[in-house]
Amino acid sequence: MAITVVSGDTNTFRASAYGRPDVMTMQWCEQREQQQFQNVDPLVRQQFLDQRGTVFGELDYTNILQLSKAMSNQMDTTWMRNVIQELSTVDQLQIAPPVMMNWIMANPVAREMYHNQQIAGYDEYYTDLEPGKTGEDHYYYRRAVNGLFLEDTDGELVATEWLEDLHDPLDSLDIVDQRSIQTTWQHLESALQAKGSDPTSRWNAQL
């Protein structure tokens, strides 16, 4: 039996326990508030509004909705195997299994955005072993494209093989693994270009 443990703060609990109130409920509350304070002294009304802001100001419902979706994604993918595989949706990318994170973060587009602090890059779940390195300078990129025919700047198809010591024997990828990483990169870049949900954010942050 697998148990999913999700860490977070008070807002994380609210997201999982309650979700976001519907629009009609929020509108009803606003209308009731206006009715109650029609004949109240302006100073008393302002004191109440100040206090209400202290209590309810923490309830960022947009953030709660994002957290709720992120937690739902994590629950739905509890049984995702920790193997190299194609990840085709933003939801799958956000909760990528550990073995896929280094390969996802080897993508040059994502890596450049990560260096510019434009994406989460899996936060504390990912450790960048080669900070600042991108493309062929980056170990995991070289392993991902080793021996594959790729189009160069002149439009020519060129295959390069790197003879180097492996960090881990599992970094010796077969063609199936490489194709899974390549197609995942395509989905990743599409998600980044869409500028919606951050595909590298466990908490469904927005780009």
DSSP string, the chain: ---------HHHHHHHHT-PPPHHHHHHHHHHHHHHTTTS-HHHHHHHHHHHHHHHTT--HHHHHHHHHHHHHHHHTTT--SS-----SHHHHHT--HHHHHHHTTSHHHHHHHHTT-S-TTGGG---SSTT--GGGSHHHHHHHTT-EEE-TTS-EEE-------SSGGGS--HHHHHHHHHHHHHHHHHHHHTSB-TT-TT--B-
Q: How many CA atoms lie within 13 A of 201 on its CB side?
A: 20
**Whole-number Å distance between alpha carbons of 176 and 83:** 12
Q: What per-residue confidence (pLDDT) applies to 51?
A: 57
Tens-binned pLDDT, residue by residue, of the chain (207 aa): 344 444 455 555 554 555 555 556 656 666 665 665 566 556 655 665 565 554 444 455 555 555 555 555 555 555 688 999 999 999 999 999 999 999 999 999 999 999 999 999 999 999 999 999 999 999 999 999 999 998 888 888 999 999 999 999 999 999 999 999 999 999 999 999 999 999 999 989 999
Q: What per-residue confidence (pLDDT) applies to 155?
A: 87
Both tokens of 187, joined, read 């989905």
**Whole-number Å distance between alpha carbons of 78 and 2:** 8
Cα separation values, 196 from 90, 135, 191, Å: 10, 25, 7
Q: What per-residue confidence (pLDDT) applies to 57?
A: 45
Q: What per-residue confidence (pLDDT) applies to 169?
A: 94
Q: What per-residue confidence (pLDDT) applies to 81?
A: 87
Both tokens of 127, joined, read 């450790």
The residues spanned by each domain of the chain are 10-63, 81-194
Classify 21 in phi/psi space as left (phi over 0), alpha (psi -120 to 50) or beta: beta
**Whole-number Å distance between alpha carbons of 46 and 137:** 60
